[in-house]
Amino acid sequence: MENFQDEKQRELSFNKSDGTNKFLTTDQGVKINDDNNSLKAGERGPSLLEDFILREKITHFDHERIPERIVHARGSGAHGFFEVTNPIPELTKAGFLQEAGLKTPVFTRFSTVAGSRGSTDLARDVRGFSVKFYTQEGIYDLVGNNIPVFFIQDAAKFPDLIHAVKPEPHNEMPQAASAHDTFWDFISLMPESMHMIMWVMSDRAIPRSYRMMEGFGVHTFRLINEAGKSSFVKFHWKPKLGTHAVAWDEAQKISGKNPDFHRQDLWEAIDTGNFPEWELGVQIIPSEDEEKYEFDLLDPTKLVPEELVPVTIVGRMVLNKNPDNFFAETEQIAFHPGHVVPGIDFSNDPLLQGRLFSYTDTQLSRLGSPNFHEIPINRSVAPVHNNQRDGHMRQEINVGRVSYHPNSLGGGCPYQAKIAEGGFSSFEERVDAHKIRGRSESFADHFGQAKLFFNSQTSTEKSHIIKALRFELGKVETAAIRLRMLGLLSQVDRDLAEKVAVGLGMKVPSILETPLNHGVSPENENGNQESKTVASSVASSDALTMLKNPTNTPTIASRKVAIIVADGVSEAAVTNIKKALLKEDAKGCIIAKNLGTVVTDTDGEIHVDFSFLTASSVLFDAVYIPDGLGINTLIENDDLNEFLNDAYKHCKVIAADGAASAVLSIAPFASKITNQDDGMIINSEVASESFAQKFIAAMGKHRFWEREPNLYN
């Protein structure tokens, strides 16, 4: 297999132009002499219809926008490569997984689900995590999320789910939020959603960065080897930087301070050489074990606990190049779970089966043509030869008189490929059943894995779930909906339901309402099984908690530190901390009352990156106040007090040395500081190397959630 390490072949599929040292032209290549004035009958006369330059420019402008995605509209993407580290030819014949060291170009897009293109990055929401592999055998799309399960079991309910979570149709509110009546009305009547609700109410739904979240294929797929043997597979992306989240109050404030926070974070990380990286892992279930577990592998509301089937790492993905043009690449990229290559196939998951239709239909609507595969970002690096012709915006110029198969006039070309020649062949699964609208009894457990997820969380994470549910359900105006949700929550965990009920000023119902299951009418006995709870064979799983997840590493690479300064600041202290951070691939940003420069204790000058007006602690991972004679001028500064108070409230590392320690001694949270709080690094001496290392070690722990009042204990 050819190695795409230099990505030259991928680059050739783009027609790029930056206009440097070029003449301005029309779309037809005609050089333009005057682009500032339309053609008129005299200087003050009417514009002329014959002005083809103006007409072309305005017409193109009028048609620049295409329909945004109905879901996953708000996204950000980047180029990179996937490298095989542990080939699995015994499991799949997919060419891009055959050889150690083989690199395949990729484009990855991250997104929120519910909001429009103009919504905030920090909404409480599922995050899309989709990767397009430009393999030698064709395009392979792994279209997933940062949560391994989904709300519904059957694609028939997907339009209803999205209609419910979108802004309510009578007033188009709220944007990018699930905290409203229609969403929870739907959820309260769909108990199959309870496992997903636990995930969405957890900190997984408010990640610190796209670079610090896991990705999952969600569905069960198949791998097929050369011998035709099939195995079931679940796909996992494990981030090198670990899985981290922000606090909910912090997320709301970030939305106001910088709604592009995740987008900017990804761009800047790549731009500065801190390339995001994930490992691709697989959970392999032999075909003969399809019915081995207490859950159904075809049920998209269920996961396979890693204690039952460990994740095997097969490769790594590195994103190392930002797009040249957001619209042409990130906006026009077209993913489809049906884009597979030989060696990868589908399962009978009913949600997946529906997606296989929906995604093609969506791209036809958004991109306006069945030729969307010819847009450069979607173009295969493998040769494309078939008898498809014409259509809106066709770019391929097909020569010859033959456009059908079989034919003799074209020598029978293009040929069909035998399986041994790389031709795709679907797995030969025996299907012998009656046509029926319904679901298997094995799909009826709606609470077992919801319990498993909640039981796996740390006390802090359980507390965050309680707060999230209090916030979301507290926004619901209809009391009956809140009551139904308390009933469902009580079937996950009684204590959870009781604590949520306290925040709502309600009581958990003693008699539980039984909503219609699966969204079917009562007369359809095949689809109306009662919800049930099946005890999991795994009591709890560390892989399901962010705070104990093995992907969490103590690195502070790409983290940002706010360094608060004033005139008279210790130049040595600032220099020492910035050097220490740079050594760890982190960045220190200078913040002062005003932009410009501050004068140091040695009469030098330090450039100010942000003022308190243009910065906020929610945009940084930690705060450091260096020693300095002028630090007393900041003690009464309300902006600094707010800055520090938010940093403390959001459980971040705060450090001060020398005279700066006095600032913390009168901070609003001073009385709460304890010797057990390892996130407060206070040094009465001028910052030393050991002080810097202690600060960096504390940052590596991300947050000190112990500061929060714990609602669960």
Report the helix count and the strand count for the chain, using DSSP H and E: 16, 18
Distances (CA, A) of 660 to 381, 517, 569, 682: 58, 60, 10, 9
Residues 188 and 297 in one domain: yes
Q: Which pLDDT score is estimated for 535? A: 80
Residues 337 and 459 in one domain: no
What is the four-CA torsion angle of 31, 33, 36, 40, rounded to 10 degrees?
Answer: -110
pLDDT tier, 302 (very low <50, low <70, confident <90, very high otherwise): very high
pLDDT digits (tens, 9 = 90+) for 424-482: 988 988 888 888 888 899 999 999 999 999 999 999 999 999 999 999 999 999 999 99
Residues 155 and 254 in one domain: yes
Coil/strand/helix, residue 575? helix
CATH code of the domain covering residue 681? 3.40.50.880
Cis? peptide before 406, omega within 30° of 0: yes
Catalytic sites, residue numbers? 72, 145
Residue 134 inside a domain? The answer is: yes
Instruction: Give Cβ neighbours of residue 399 (< 8 Å, ≥ 6 apart).
Output: none
Lowest-pLDDT range of 35-39, 272-276, 483-487: 35-39
Which residue among 359, 378, 397 closes a domain?
378
Q: Which pLDDT score is estimated for 103? A: 98
pLDDT tier, 676 (very low <50, low <70, confident <90, very high otherwise): confident
DSSP assignments along 411-438, one per residue: TTPSPPPPGGGT--------------S-
State yes or no: pLDDT of 6 exceeds 70.
no
Q: Which pLDDT score is estimated for 433? A: 83
Q: Which pLDDT score is estimated for 524? A: 41
State yes or no: pLDDT of 352 exceeds 80.
yes
pLDDT digits (tens, 9 = 90+) for 166-222: 999 999 999 999 999 999 999 999 999 999 999 999 999 999 999 999 999 999 999
Q: Give 336: exposed, middle or buried? Use CB within 10 Å, 0-12, 13-18, 19+.
A: buried
User: How far does CA 444 lie from the centroid of its chain?
Assistant: 29
**Proportion of the chain above pLDDT 70, given as a percent:** 94
pLDDT tier, 12 (very low <50, low <70, confident <90, very high otherwise): very low
Q: Which pLDDT score is estimated for 522? A: 41
Residue range 586-609: average pLDDT?
A: 96
Residue 397 inside a domain? The answer is: no
H or E element at residue 371: none
Residue 370 inside a domain? The answer is: yes
Among the listed residues 627, 632, 563, 634, the one whose alpha carbon sits nearest the alpha carbon of residue 601: 627
Q: Which pLDDT score is estimated for 85? A: 98
Block residue for tokens 């990229």: 333
State yes or no: pLDDT of 7 exceeds 60.
no
Residues 538 and 579 in one domain: no
CA dist 544 and 303 (Å) reads 10
CATH code of the domain covering residue 540? 1.20.1370.20
Residue 20 inside a domain? The answer is: no
Residues 195 and 167 in one domain: yes
Residues 571 and 693 in one domain: yes
Which residue among 343, 358, 378 closes a domain?
378
Q: Which pLDDT score is estimated for 642? A: 93
Residues 468 and 595 in one domain: no
Per the document, the length of the chain is: 713
Distances (CA, A) of 103 to 89, 96, 100, 311: 16, 8, 9, 21
CA dist 351 and 361 (Å) reads 16
DSSP assignments along 664-712, one per residue: HHTSTTGGG--TT-TTEEEESSPP-HHHHHHHHHHHTT---GGGS--S-
pLDDT digits (tens, 9 = 90+) for 500-550: 999 999 999 987 766 554 443 344 443 445 677 888 889 999 999 999 987
Residue 434 inside a domain? The answer is: no
42: left (phi over 0), alpha (psi -120 to 50) or beta: left
* pTM beyond 0.95: no
Among the listed residues 199, 284, 295, the one whose alpha carbon sits nearest the alpha carbon of residue 234: 284
Higher pLDDT, 56 or 329: 329
Residue 392 inside a domain? The answer is: no
pLDDT digits (tens, 9 = 90+) for 70-110: 999 999 999 999 999 999 999 999 999 999 999 999 999 99
Residues 584 and 537 in one domain: no
DSSP assignments along 327-368, one per residue: IIIIIT----TT---TTEEE---HHHHHHHHHHHHHHHHHH-
Residues 492 and 595 in one domain: no
CATH code of the domain covering residue 335? 2.40.180.10
Residues 189 and 296 in one domain: yes
Residues 641 and 701 in one domain: yes
Lowest-pLDDT range of 2-6, 131-135, 566-570, 577-581: 2-6
Residues 564 and 512 in one domain: no
Q: Which pLDDT score is estimated for 26? A: 87
Residue 633 inside a domain? The answer is: yes
Residue 597 inside a domain? The answer is: yes
Which residue among 378, 402, 436 closes a domain?
378
State yes or no: pLDDT of 39 exceeds 50.
yes
Higher pLDDT, 608 or 688: 608
Q: Give 175: exposed, middle or buried? Use CB within 10 Å, 0-12, 13-18, 19+.
A: middle
Among the listed residues 219, 269, 248, 221, the one whose alpha carbon sits nearest the alpha carbon of residue 110: 269
CA dist 163 and 171 (Å) reads 14
Q: Which pLDDT score is estimated for 685? A: 60
Q: Are 367 and 389 in contact (CB under 8 A)?
A: no
Range of the domain at 300: 75-378
Q: For residue 24, which amino acid is it?
A: L
Q: Give the count of domains, the chain.
A: 3
